[in-house]
């Protein structure tokens, strides 16, 4: 049978989500905990990776097993085995057609920016930008990214060639409370660094380093220039992965 | 001349505020930074210590020096020398009668409690209590602590005998937003562990482990029993130290 699991983690002390040799990764911690529970190696499939320093409230993974255990018992056991910076939020039995990456309807990322005084307590959880941003300007730039575009210029180039760089951003919302700006981006899928490059470019527009036409052109597949603006990882949270109701 | 400095820090990776041999302490980091700036050893006086794991938004210290430097330059230099989990918020020249402990008018502590699902991202910044608390009950217990009392039963006994255990709590406010309860305690001065024991006792009342008469009696100087309820350090923040206007 197949289980779908929602997991939350603090990315600060991890070298990212995906397993890498001799590195502390979230996937590895989860697989160690599963091995303890089932007394055998179990590989998980996930909705996608997150980079070093990125946090998650609602990462989703699934795994296969022949042994049936009640979901609340799985949750309890895994949380006993996992380190304190990873925590299982929910476990569900799902049918065999479910795949955490293939079945995605929407993914939501949130990015937090502090425009006030440097805050040492939140330094790993909110990007300490240090100077004011104009929410109206950010919204103006954000609008250009909403819709279906070729995001070739808004991703890393250190990966193998992608089949397609076309992605759909459904919504970008921006709110401000005191000195904290919160940006939510919802889309059907994201390329590596795409969220951080979109927000980096929004800030570059705020600062007068690019104009709206530059941004429009960089979303044109014929544009040869990669984006050079990228906000740091510590402000980024994978909030939620949603799947179509069955 | 004398400088008054406001400092904020993340207590997670420190063995508390006060200098101890071979331990990472906030006071030591500040004095290292001051030594770099002034090229000589400078000792600071503080509004009080905070324990291992306790955070601060508005700790206050002062120091003496013969060399005059503009406050904004002191702030900038110290923040260059300090590690990322300690940050100078403000520097001011004060007259020689100012003493960060002796002159205190009020101190405010805030304590944060998560009554919802364990949150790995906030595990070092909000006490992960894990079950519901009744704000009305907390307020009922809190009332008993407001005023001038003998807090001998609400402090550690590993210190030398105090001259007096009498302290005045001016105000306790409790608010709840979603799954987070925030308790603010304002008083003229606090004994070691006093805030954490007051809140631990409020939770013990919520849980039916003590009744209001027990609490009243424990505030009577004739009561021989020390409090055994204490919430952990990670939810505690020294918010603000205020001084009379001169």
* pLDDT at residue B82 is higher than 90: yes
pLDDT for res B68: 94
pLDDT for res A100: 95
Q: Number of A to B CB contacts under 8 A, please give it.
A: 46
- Segment A111-133, tens digit of pLDDT: 999 999 999 999 999 999 999 99
B10–A85: do the CB atoms touch at under 8 Å?
Answer: no
* pLDDT at residue A160 is higher than 70: no
The chain-wide mean pLDDT, for chain B, equals 95
Report chain A residues whose CB lies below 8 A from the CB of B121. Answer: 8-10, 55, 57, 125, 237
pLDDT for res A48: 95
Do residues B49 and B7 touch, judged by C-beta distance below 8 A? Answer: no
How many whole angstroms separate alpha carbon B25 and alpha carbon B47? 16
Beta bridge partners of B88: B7
To the query of whether residue B51 is one of the catalytic residues in this protein, the response is yes
Is the torsion defined by CA of A44, A47, A48, A49 positive or negative? negative
How many Å lie between the alpha carbon of A108 and the closest alpha carbon of chain B? 17
Would you give the DSSP letter of residue A45? Answer: E
Beta bridge partners of B184: B110, B173
Of chain B, the percentage scoring pLDDT greater than 70 comes to 98
pLDDT for res A103: 85
* pLDDT at residue B171 is higher than 70: yes
pLDDT for res A43: 97
* pLDDT at residue A159 is higher than 90: no
How many Å lie between the alpha carbon of A153 and the closest alpha carbon of chain B? 31
- What is the mean pLDDT of the segment spanning B159-187? 91
Of chain B, the percentage scoring pLDDT greater than 90 comes to 91
The chain-wide mean pLDDT, for chain A, equals 95
Report chain B residues whose CB lies below 8 A from the CB of A57. Answer: 121
Q: Within a 10 A sphere around the Cβ of A60, how many other Cβ atoms?
A: 26
Query: What φ, ψ does residue A176 adopt, rounded to 5°?
Result: -135, 130
- H-state helical runs in chain B: 26-38, 71-81, 135-145, 194-206, 212-218
* pLDDT at residue B220 is higher than 90: no
* pLDDT at residue B234 is higher than 70: yes
pTM of the model: 0.93
Mutate to test the interface with A, among B9, B119, B121, B233 (most CBs of A within 10 A): B121
Minimal Cα distance from B90: which residue of A? A117
- Segment B4-61, tens digit of pLDDT: 999 999 999 999 999 999 999 999 999 999 999 999 999 999 999 999 999 999 999 9
B10–A89: do the CB atoms touch at under 8 Å?
Answer: no
pLDDT for res B221: 80
How many Å lie between the alpha carbon of A91 and the closest alpha carbon of chain B? 14
pLDDT for res B71: 97
- Segment A192-209, tens digit of pLDDT: 999 999 999 999 999 999
pLDDT band for position B158 (cuts 50, 70, 90): low
pLDDT for res A226: 81
Q: Within a 10 A sphere around the Cβ of A21, how many other Cβ atoms?
A: 6
Minimal Cα distance from B13: which residue of A? A121
């Amino acid at each position: 049978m197949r289980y779908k699991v929602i997991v939350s983690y603090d990315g600060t002390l991890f070298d990212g989500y995906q397993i890498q040799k001799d590195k502390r990764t979230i996937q590895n911690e989860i697989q160690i905990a599963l091995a303890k529970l089932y007394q055998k190696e179990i590989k998980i499939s996930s909705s996608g990776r997150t980079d070093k320093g990125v946090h998650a409230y609602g990462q989703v993974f699934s795994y296969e097993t022949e042994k049936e255990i009640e979901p609340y018992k799985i949750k309890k056991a895994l949380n006993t085995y996992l380190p304190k910076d990873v925590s299982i939020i929910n476990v569900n039995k799902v049918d065999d057609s479910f795949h955490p990456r293939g079945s995605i309807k929407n993914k939501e990322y949130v990015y937090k920016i502090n425009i006030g005084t440097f805050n040492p307590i939140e330094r790993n959880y909110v990007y300490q930008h240090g100077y004011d941003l104009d929410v109206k300007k950010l919204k103006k730039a954000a609008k250009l990214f909403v819709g279906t575009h070729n995001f070739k210029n808004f991703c890393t180039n250190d990966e193998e060639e992608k089949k397609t760089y076309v992605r759909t951003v459904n919504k970008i919302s921006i709110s401000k409370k005191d000195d904290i700006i919160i940006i939510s981006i919802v889309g059907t899928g994201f390329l590596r660094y795409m969220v951080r490059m979109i927000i980096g470019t929004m800030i570059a527009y705020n600062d007068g380093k690019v104009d709206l036409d530059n941004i429009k052109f960089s979303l044109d597949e014929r544009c040869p220039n990669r984006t050079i603006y990228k906000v740091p990882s510590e402000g980024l949270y994978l909030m939620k992965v949603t799947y179509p109701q069955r």
